[in-house]
């Protein structure tokens, strides 16, 4: 079997470059594990991916595990994105407050500083760059066979509120990549912190993909570049019905000199209808959402979110996510 990391694997390498247009469209191409920088959740994408200081839901395990320490309720999320180039991206996440079955809700709030045992988060990502890629051993009209380029991860994270101002979190993830007749497995780490020192203000810091690497069955090893993220968010209520959220963020890839900027704005009415718009490192995003109470089950609700984001190569990318709050 040929080693894909050697020049003799030129044909397979060329195929990978041709089908990786989606991650280039997101500004993350050309690096190992580029799909890990695509983002997660339609709400976060509509906010321009300025979510490090905002995430306190199921998606926190991806964006900033420290946000799990501020989660008050169970939530499960499923999200899907189809890209114009032919690939797709599926996301599943779940958050479970450890204290949920031990203390009343008014005592397990991270803001009260009482009985905080933190929360556990699970994240599952599956990214397909392309399906049914034609493979040929020689120059011919008909392909010898077809293959797909699929990669993803299984993540587990824990976040806890240390006091009314500070929360910290840590995540680990198992990585995999399947490409033609070769495959790879590996691991990675994420860590973060959130500070809430003033009413309505949240500041978050995170490092993603630290010590992350893949070991291929061919003997090649890929090291993922770590990313530093720093963001701030401010939420203001107007009366009892309207809430406005503003978030900004800067990210820095340790293998690049570029600083990527993100910003988002969200308007919520009665915590039922949401309108969002964002700036995601040079591209625009917009979307909205609706929260639907689950009749017959106290405090439970469905959340449906949508985001349309400019694609640097062609058209728009459409993100959909469905959440169940328990």
pLDDT band at 105 (very low <50, low <70, confident <90, very high): low
Highest mean pLDDT among 91-95, 148-152, 218-222, 252-256: 91-95
- Taking residues 305-311, what's their average pLDDT? 93
d(CA 202, CA 135): 50
pLDDT at 52: 97
pLDDT at 5 over 80: no
How confident is the model over 46-96, as pLDDT tens digits? 999 999 999 999 999 999 999 999 998 899 999 999 887 778 999 999 999
DSSP string, 240-282: TTEEEEEEEEEEEETT-S-EEEEEEEEEEETTTEEEEEEEETT
Highest mean pLDDT among 105-119, 161-175, 293-307: 161-175
Query: Could you state, in order of their start, the residue ranges of all structural domains in the chain?
Result: 7-325
Which CATH number applies to 7-325? Answer: 2.40.160.40
d(CA 246, CA 123): 26
Least confident of 26-30, 83-87, 156-160: 26-30
pLDDT at 25 over 80: no
SS3 percent helix, strand, coil of the chain, rounded to 5, is 15, 55, 35
């Amino acid at each position: 079997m040929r080693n894909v990391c050697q020049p003799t694997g030129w044909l397979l390498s060329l195929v990978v470059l041709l089908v990786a247009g989606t991650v280039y469209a997101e500004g993350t191409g050309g690096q190992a594990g580029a799909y890990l920088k695509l983002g997660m959740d339609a709400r976060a994408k509509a906010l321009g991916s300025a979510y490090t200081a905002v995430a306190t839901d199921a998606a926190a395990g991806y964006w900033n595990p420290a946000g799990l320490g501020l989660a008050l309720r169970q939530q499960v999320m499923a999200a899907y994105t189809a890209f114009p180039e032919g690939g797709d991206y599926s996301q599943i996440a779940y958050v479970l407050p450890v204290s949920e079955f031990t203390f009343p809700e008014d005592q397990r709030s991270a803001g009260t500083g009482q009985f905080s045992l933190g929360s556990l988060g699970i994240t599952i990502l599956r990214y397909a760059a392309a399906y049914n890629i034609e493979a040929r051993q020689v120059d011919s009209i008909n392909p010898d066979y077809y293959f797909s380029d699929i990669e993803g991860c299984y993540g587990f994270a824990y976040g806890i509120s240390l006091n009314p101002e500070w929360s910290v979190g840590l995540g680990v993830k198992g990585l995999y990549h399947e490409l033609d007749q070769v495959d790879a497995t590996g691991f990675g780490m994420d860590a973060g912190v959130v500070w809430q020192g003033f009413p309505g203000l949240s500041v978050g810091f995170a490092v993603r993909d630290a010590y992350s690497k893949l070991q291929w069955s061919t003997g090649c090893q890929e090291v993922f570049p770590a990313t530093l993220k720093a963001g701030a968010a401010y939420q203001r209520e107007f009366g009892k019905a309207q809430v406005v959220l503003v978030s900004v963020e800067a990210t820095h890839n340790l293998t690049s000199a570029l600083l990527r900027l993100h910003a988002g704005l969200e308007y919520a009415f009665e915590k039922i209808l949401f309108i969002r718009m964002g700036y995601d490192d040079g591209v625009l995003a917009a979307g909205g959402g609706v929260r639907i109470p689950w009749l017959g089950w106290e405090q439970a609700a469905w959340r449906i979110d949508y985001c349309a984001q400019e694609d640097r190569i062609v058209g728009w990318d459409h993100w959909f996510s469905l959440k169940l709050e328990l």
